[in-house]
Amino acid sequence: MQALLTLLTICLLSYLCSSQPSTGVFLSQAATQTGARCLDGTPGLYYHRAGTGTGANKWYIHHEGGGWCYNMDDCLGRSEGYLGSTKGDPATRVIQGGYFSTDPAINPQMYNWNSVYLRYCDGASFSGDNSTVTTFKDHQLYFRGFRILQAVFNDLNTNRGLNKATDVVISGCSAGGLATYLHLDWWRKNIQSSAKVVGLPDSGFFLDYESPIKQYHSNMVWVFTQQNSTSGVNDDCIRANVGKEYLCIFAQHVSPYIQTPIFPLQSEYDSWQTSEDLDSTSVQAINEWGRTMTDLVKTNLLKKSQNGIFLDSCHHHCGEWGNIVIDGKNQARAFEDFYNGVGQKVFMQDKVYPCTCLLYTSDAADDLLC
């Protein structure tokens, strides 16, 4: 009984046991007034859980991931499901664990912050700004993810207290990680200047590559063109690539232009990329992929001393918050150090593929060896 009372006390004091649901905000007015709509025409949506205590004016903003749609049939199919519509979304959701955890042992920097989960329903990492409603096979499709992003910001700033923010972390996983690269400076520009803003993209550094079958480069160029993403990506990148603006839909090309401090979480042997971008299981090819990834990170991100990275050698994609250790720190602790200017900024595992990764445990912090 005493142990239970102690646990309950800890929960009350430090929010360890919080399962407070996040409230859904359906952006119906923006859908009508600005055309900010998902692929199927339903309104954009985000979920918000209020910060508490010292985190009341601090914000973690997360772009949901889920790939992209690469042609009209693909976009039509997506519009009829979760990744293209908000018609089936509930009024509240419990979003917890990882970067959303309210346990300071798991999420030491942001456990009591406001958390925002941006629903992904546009198929282009929140970059589209196509005014034309496209009719395809008797269905109307909307390519307006950037308008949804703008509507989210406006509502957060006007109605939820983002205008009082002191600290903001912009994040996302996979296609949401790419969205972090594309929009980080836009968030920085729009959030009040006195706030500290940094980026934390997870598994979003997709290499610009064209395999014979998967054709990631061509597919993403189609996304950029069809969605009219020119005004929905990094402005400095667009100005520097006149005639080749499509390059700015790729993280490796946009990253040199990002001015806001950024701390990516990334595998050099990202499992989605080796399957869907590189399209190979060859050990030699995957190791070459990792070397290319590492070189691009060093050239395009780490030449700015304000940036850092957690670049591991495990074969995974997203979702390993706290499970991977480099130089004695897992992702959460490494990010905490980076955010507060303590210790090193660059964590690189730099191991040869295949690398067997074991889960991190508090009893064996160095279990994860490759």
Sign of the torsion angle spanned by Cα atoms 190, 196, 202, 205:
positive
Annotated catalytic residues are 174, 270, 317
**Residues 46, 152: contact at Cβ < 8 Å?**
yes
Complete DSSP assignment for 1-63: -HHHHHHHHHHHHH-TT--PPEEEEE-HHHHHHT--B-TTSPBPEEEEE---GGGTTEEEEEE
**Residues 182, 149: contact at Cβ < 8 Å?**
no
Long-range Cβ contact pairs of 357-362 (< 8 A, separation 24 or more): 357/312, 357/313, 357/314, 357/315, 357/316, 357/323, 357/324, 359/323, 360/322, 360/323, 360/324, 360/325, 360/330, 362/105
Q: Give the Cα separation of 335 and 169 in Å (integer).
A: 11
* Backbone angles phi and psi of 75, in degrees to 5: -70, -35
